[in-house]
Chains A and B, each alone.
Chain A
Amino acid sequence: MNEFSPRQAKFIHDHRRHHHMVTFFRFTIFFLFLAVWEVSTRLHLIDAFIFSSPSRIVQTFIEMSKDGSLLRHTGVTLYETLLSFSLVILVSFLTATILWFSNTISEILEPCLVILNSLPKSALAPLMIVWLGANTRTIIVAGMSVAVFGSIISMYTAFRETDAEKVKLIYTLGGNRLQVLRCVVFPSSVPAIISILKVNIGLCLVGVIIGEFLAAREGLGYLIIYASQIFKLNYLITALIILCIIAFCLYQAIQKLEHHIHKTRKF
């Protein structure tokens, strides 16, 4: 290893200390919050029936793990989210490609996309139940509907923003429009596509939960609605915490993917 100059060593030391301090306070605040919550329910400062408590949540968690319902609900939500996410990416990639190919088509469809994108998608959910039935299909379509229009617009914009000179280069090398797409437009849109993935994984989760509120027998969204109706707040808050964990993990997965792509492409 290289010898550092004293000033470099001090810089690294300070940097680490700052990093440790941030981590320390994050954990402290988290545990302090749990402690205050637990203690105030024990002392009956707040009602544990309504606010639940960390110990009750842990208990619920263990109970639900034992009878397998936790795994089932989480698995269903995760499966529906990932499926609708994949479909969103597939559909918006294909649509954006078609729009890029034909200016006429994109001009014709622009108002439709803008309207569909700004429409509150939860308003569509009851319609979907009528059309598709109260089943997994509806939930996946609900998940897609939240994300897909915005995703198409962002991806098409990313394709359009390809450096015109780079496009010209392909033409000067004798390429056609398909080769422009393959050699310039797709590779130069990779960073934009990754940020679209990041936004949409969250949106799909939102859509799936909305769908499960209305049309499910399984899944975390169903669990939340069910728990609120029978006043089992322990279940509700457990479901919320699992949702937090899922959202975090999905985001991290894409972050990892981004990191990996950056490393292989070296920029």
Chain B
Amino acid sequence: MKPLLEVSHVSYSYHTLAGETPALSDITFTVDSGEFLAIVGPSGCGKSTLLSLLSGLLTPEQGTIHINNSPISTHQTNIGYMLQKDHLFEWRTVYRNVILGLEIQNRKTEENLAHVEQMLRDYGLSAFKNARPSELSGGMRQRAALIRTLALDPSLLLLDEPFSALDYQTRLNVCDDVYQIIKKEKKTAILVTHDLSEAISMADRIFILSKRPATIQKTVSVHFDPSELLPMKRRHAREFKEYFNEIWKELNQNE
């Protein structure tokens, strides 16, 4: 089977008058359909740059990125991107926030709206459809943001530290929620995080990036028994600690 996403020899640098800052150098990897990939690395190593490239917000200076065999272009629609904060607009109701993507792309078809309704019901937000975002809890806001992303039915989901703005307790719960939603909707996901335990508790595969300019330093495949263990349960599994130590060592070699 052909992989869903193919990234080959991608490099990217930022340019200012003060000079050139290489952010990524020669990144090559593939992601299969349905896989959950996590990318960890020291802060400022270019993780977010990688996501911007994958989502088409930036164009690679060298190398190519293909999704479903076609090159990634700007303003494409089959990639969902979840940012660090939920960015729900206070001047819209929860429902109108959730359908923002459909509105922008002019895809408010009956079928798509029905899908949104279904997700709102499934993920416990239908009672808050006409509420303002400020009336929601942190976890609910994050779920609403996820539904907004999923409403466009993306084939690949990018998560840029989506839990970093939440307090610890909410974070663990939302992590479980989001994981279940992604699995239920059968999405392929790439999670960027600096939280090792979060990466291990959610991902099937973990890339460790080196310091800037980032290269893929190591790939760790994560297996739990049973494989559908929820993130919170994974944290208690025997294997968790081993993976943690392995990645921790690898990251510290960096220093």
Residues of A within 8 A of B (CB): 163, 165-166, 168-176, 179, 183-184, 187-188, 190, 265-267
The residues of A that contact B103 with a CB separation of less than 8 Å are 183
The residues of B that contact A188 with a CB separation of less than 8 Å are 89, 91
Q: Which 4 A-B pairs have the closest CB atoms?
A: A172-B81, A173-B101, A175-B104, A187-B91
The residues of A that contact B152 with a CB separation of less than 8 Å are 173-174
Q: Tell me if B100 counts as interface (CB < 8 A to partner A).
A: yes
Q: Tell me if B105 counts as interface (CB < 8 A to partner A).
A: yes
Does A165 contact B87, Cβ atoms closer than 8 Å?
yes
Looking at chain B's contact residues, the main secondary structure is: loop
Q: Tell me if B15 counts as interface (CB < 8 A to partner A).
A: no
Does A171 contact B57, Cβ atoms closer than 8 Å?
yes
Among A166, A171, A175, A266, the residue within 8 A (CB) of B132 is A266
Q: Can you identify 30 A-B contacts, CB atoms within 8 angstroms?
A: A165-B83, A165-B85, A165-B87, A168-B83, A169-B83, A169-B87, A170-B104, A171-B75, A172-B55, A172-B57, A172-B80, A173-B152, A174-B75, A174-B76, A174-B77, A174-B101, A174-B105, A174-B152, A175-B75, A175-B105, A179-B104, A183-B89, A183-B100, A183-B104, A188-B89, A265-B91, A266-B90, A267-B90, A267-B91, A267-B132
Q: Give Cα A170–Cα B83 distance, bound, in whole angstroms.
A: 11
Q: A174-B76, A179-B104 are in contact. List 19 more A-B contacts (CB 8 A).
A: A165-B85, A166-B87, A166-B89, A169-B83, A171-B57, A171-B75, A172-B55, A172-B57, A172-B81, A172-B83, A173-B104, A173-B105, A174-B152, A175-B75, A183-B103, A184-B89, A187-B89, A188-B89, A267-B132
Shortest CB distance B244–A (Å): 31
Q: Give Cα A110–Cα B25 distance, bound, in whole angstroms.
A: 39
Query: How many pairs, one residue from A and one from B, have CB atoms within 8 Å of each other in the complex?
Result: 56
Shortest CB distance B48–A (Å): 10
Shortest CB distance B47–A (Å): 15
Most buried by B among A166, A171, A179, A188: A171
The residues of A that contact B75 with a CB separation of less than 8 Å are 171, 174-176
Q: Which of B60-94 contact A (CB under 8 A)?
A: 75-77, 80-81, 83-85, 87, 89-91
Q: How large is the interface on B (under 10, 10 to 19, 20 to 34, 35 or more residues)?
A: 20 to 34
Q: Which of B32-71 contact A (CB under 8 A)?
A: 55, 57
Shortest CB distance B135–A (Å): 9
Q: Give Cα A174–Cα B154 distance, bound, in whole angstroms.
A: 11
Does A265 contact B90, Cβ atoms closer than 8 Å?
yes
The residues of A that contact B90 with a CB separation of less than 8 Å are 265-267
Q: Tell me if B217 counts as interface (CB < 8 A to partner A).
A: no
Shortest CB distance B90–A (Å): 5
Q: Give Cα A97–Cα B103 distance, bound, in whole angstroms.
A: 22
Closest chain B residue, CB of each to CB of A175: B104
Q: Give Cα A179–Cα B103 distance, bound, in whole angstroms.
A: 10
Q: Which of B123-158 contact A (CB under 8 A)?
A: 132, 134, 148, 152
Among B55, B84, B104, the residue within 8 A (CB) of A165 is B84
The residues of A that contact B104 with a CB separation of less than 8 Å are 170, 173-175, 179, 183
Shortest CB distance A131–B (Å): 43
Closest chain B residue, CB of each to CB of A163: B87
Shortest CB distance A251–B (Å): 25
Q: Give Cα A163–Cα B87 distance, bound, in whole angstroms.
A: 10
The residues of A that contact B101 with a CB separation of less than 8 Å are 173-174
